[in-house]
Chain A
């Protein structure tokens, strides 16, 4: 049985003047997924996120959140027009790329304020506040004024604010921009915990290594179009080639002759000196066979490292295709 969809959009379009920021996007994200949205600046990621969070009206198109229509055609769905019906809003958590905070409040008061805005009642509210503070590692700062926090702490506090009401769909727009490596790592860990808690998460980011570690699926946006949307596994299968890095103490020509004889070797690149990168079509067992054949051919290998093209290479490759 097919998994339930957390987000479904159909023909979603947003125009700013004659510029089409998001163009006819059909997006499907399953419940429980961590979906990475990547693309160059100005590709339409933020606009798409804002429309999914109901912070921006689409020009045309349909959005369904957990099967409930958020927007249809040119008119917003009844749920959004009727402000008293807050069910849909309680399901969404949105962290924009800028995160204005109230400097005059303490960390606890700020989260308490948002918990109340999302109708959390005692004793659940205090319990949730403690949980969230612990998750974002700000328990020791609970009585500090927000103005005194570092950028990383403010970002974590914003995330805490976004998840305070336990949304089932979390939209994070560039959540790690401007953070140092340690803060980024902390952020990744938090997102993993949230995923384990069953939230569907959509993250847009330029840090592709983070996304490769976190995401189950990835969408690539370019000039407002969603040019690719697939699970990370499928993407690697389809677009990522197996690479083997080889280094030898002997002549490269001897190595090349051996490689030419191997049917699964597609191409190679000389990197520097005695080192080369081989593009290989086989699986791990075929790799082992290749290594064995090279050793038996008395090639003095000092390095034999099997790997796959990473997300960044795939992204750059796709971008190259578009430009051509």
Chain B
């Protein structure tokens, strides 16, 4: 045992540290008791649902596990020669298997996410992560150690439940290979959600202890949505592709039974991406889930590898953001065009614009450098350039690729990438709302740029809690106009012009005249120009880039002038 732990510690010191801190006899006992008692209670609950003999008239007893026939409701219960009920044990085991699967999925993903975010927040608050950062270990090694070690007691609870789960599955005549495919998908799901949790834990330290609840709450809602709402052939299907429970429908189908908890209402078979049937059969669902997890796990780790060694860095580089946006838009578009219909634009486009708004708000927060970084960039960048031409060339390349430059140009490029992917869809769509969709995309791009400029302006301000300021201001800029207009009962059809300054502009475009749309665009451009001017020229960046001696001389001149008077 010691030898094994020693070798494990050589491979991953962080994992060994987590194991030593958590696998204490008391914790081991509590975890084992929770798992075994939980399974025992579930077993008793299932037992309780079996039919019980009642003295007055056997004919009236009906139970879903009985084998008799019935026109309505559960089958009638038959008895054998010894007077025992004839039970369809396969259904009984199948239901136990499904209960265990669902509890496992929710417990592992929600509780694991909570534990990881909470642990990182704790370490970051105490400052212990800084020592690990200074060590020669790679970020991957440390974070994998965290990922495997922090929820180790949860893993123990799950592992102790595997024998009963496996037994229940085999007794329900589900083939071992199908059960293993469920385990594979669940493991991949854990890896993705835990990686995302680590990233969220690293970037959300400013939430001050609330982040663990927030992160695990979001996972809970996402899983509940995926487990209980059917596939709709819309953009929301992308979210469903994050739930391992999607594969359960085919595990049930393999038994040929129809239990109460059948998941057939999810209509997984309807899941499509660019007309590719993702939901037909265990293999295709499993590989779609694995590919989806793989893709987003890859991006989570790209961000983790950047952010962990240097907490001051933006979560993504500008180059990475271009690739991520392209990747996200292609995936999203696949779900938007999945069900070819003549009204696909009117059904899906507004949802797509809303999702894109969320994506871009996250990108703005991820890419916009802080006040200090921008000051350093503005102040010392010129020391690298030797001539005016080089200076201009460097400026452009710096704004597109640079690590510390303002994010406005990068956001504009990302919007261009998004448009490049979405415009062909609008053009080749058979929907009659092409012009509205086009204008809606254009207006939302402009609005996003305005939001990016506002964020940059706030980040340049000298404030204590910049993250809260950014969220508050953007929330106000996005939400307030909508709330006020709604409060005034001005529906998009009544006063479309007002709606054009909100993220819900798409709803008002069909009612707006060409002049109104033009005026709205003009208004957005004016605001954007004003903000950009404010950021670059008027005070902020130029002032930040001035040398200290200039400030000193200015102060000195001011002092002399006041002395004269």
Contacts and interface: CB of A to CB of B under 8 A. Distances in A.
A109 interface: yes
A60 B10 CA distance: 38
A53 B13 CA distance: 22
A73 B404 CA distance: 14
B83 interface: no
B6 A122 contact: yes
Contact of A16 (B9, B136, B372): B372
A224 to B, nearest CB: 11
A84 B133 CA distance: 12
B375 A17 contact: yes
Given A84-B138, A113-B13, A18 B551 contact: yes
Contacts of A104: 21
A15 B379 contact: yes
A105 to B, nearest CB: 6
Interface string B155-191: 0000000000000000000000000000000000000
A73 B384 contact: yes
B16 A116 contact: yes
B383 interface: yes
Nearest to B381: A74
Interface stretch (B102-110, B124-132, B342-350): B124-132
A20 B548 contact: yes
A119 B381 CA distance: 38
Interface string B361-399: 000000000011001100111011000000000000000
A294 B404 CA distance: 71
Given A57-B312, A73-B384, A102 B21 contact: yes
Given A98-B127, A121-B10, A53 B134 contact: yes
Given A17-B372, A17-B462, A57-B312, A117 B21 contact: no
Interface in A11-47: 15-18, 20
Nearest to B548: A20
A150 interface: no
Contact of A17 (B6, B14, B130, B371): B371
Contacts of B135: 89, 114, 117-118
Given A17-B462, A105-B20, A116-B10, A161 B380 contact: no
B380 A60 contact: yes
Contacts of A16: 372
B548 A18 contact: yes
Contacts of B491: none
A55 B133 CA distance: 8
Contact of A100 (B126, B137, B375): B126
Interface string A104-135: 11000100111011110110000000000000
B309 interface: yes
Counting chain A residues whose Cβ lies within 8 A of the other chain, the interface size class is: 35 or more
A86 interface: yes
B134 A89 contact: yes
B46 to A, nearest CB: 39
A89 B136 contact: yes
B17 interface: yes
Contacts of B138: 83-84
A121 B395 CA distance: 49
Contacts of B305: 83
Contact of A90 (B136, B310, B462): B136
B481 interface: no
A304 B138 CA distance: 63
B139 interface: yes
Contacts of A53: 134
A103 B322 CA distance: 43
A102 B128 contact: yes
Interface in A197-246: none
A54 interface: yes
Interface string B1-30: 000001001100110110011000000000
A97 B352 CA distance: 51
B558 to A, nearest CB: 16
A94 to B, nearest CB: 6
A59 interface: yes
A168 interface: no
A236 B305 CA distance: 50
A15 B370 CA distance: 13
Interface in A41-97: 53-55, 57, 59-60, 73-74, 83-84, 86-87, 89-90, 92, 94, 96
A44 B537 CA distance: 32
Contacts of B310: 57
Given A18-B551, A89-B134, A161-B131, A105 B379 contact: no
A83 B309 contact: yes
Contacts of B127: 98, 100
Contacts of A114: 131, 135
Contacts of A98: 127
Nearest to A110: B17
B27 to A, nearest CB: 11
Contact of A109 (B20, B379, B383): B20
A15 B16 contact: no
Contact of B134 (A20, A54, A84, A112): A54
A89 B10 CA distance: 18
Contacts of A101: 128
Contacts of B376: 15, 59-60, 74
Contacts of A17: 371-372, 375, 462
Contacts of A84: 138
A105 B371 CA distance: 39
A148 B132 CA distance: 23
A186 to B, nearest CB: 23
A14 to B, nearest CB: 9
Contacts of A96: 130
Contacts of A92: 134
A227 B16 CA distance: 47
Central interface residue in B128, B137, B372, by most chain A CB within 10 Å: B137
Contacts of B551: 18
A89 B9 CA distance: 20
Nearest to B404: A74
A89 B137 CA distance: 9
Contacts of B548: 18, 20
Nearest to B6: A122
A86 B138 CA distance: 9
A116 B9 contact: yes
A74 B385 CA distance: 12
Contacts of A102: 17, 21, 128
Nearest to A117: B135
B394 to A, nearest CB: 12
B13 A74 contact: no
A280 to B, nearest CB: 43
A92 B133 CA distance: 13
Contacts of B384: 73-74
Nearest 9 pairs between A and B by C-beta?
A86-B136, A116-B13, A117-B135, A89-B136, A100-B127, A113-B17, A104-B21, A100-B126, A100-B128
Interface of B: 6, 9-10, 13-14, 16-17, 20-21, 126-128, 130-139, 305, 309-310, 312, 371-372, 375-376, 379-381, 383-384, 404, 462, 548, 551
Given A15-B379, A17-B371, A94-B134, 4 more contacts: A55-B134, A60-B383, A74-B383, A161-B131
27 contacts: A15-B376, A17-B371, A17-B462, A18-B551, A57-B312, A60-B380, A73-B384, A74-B376, A74-B380, A74-B381, A74-B383, A83-B309, A86-B136, A89-B136, A90-B136, A98-B127, A101-B128, A104-B21, A105-B21, A113-B13, A113-B16, A114-B135, A116-B9, A117-B13, A117-B14, A122-B6, A161-B131
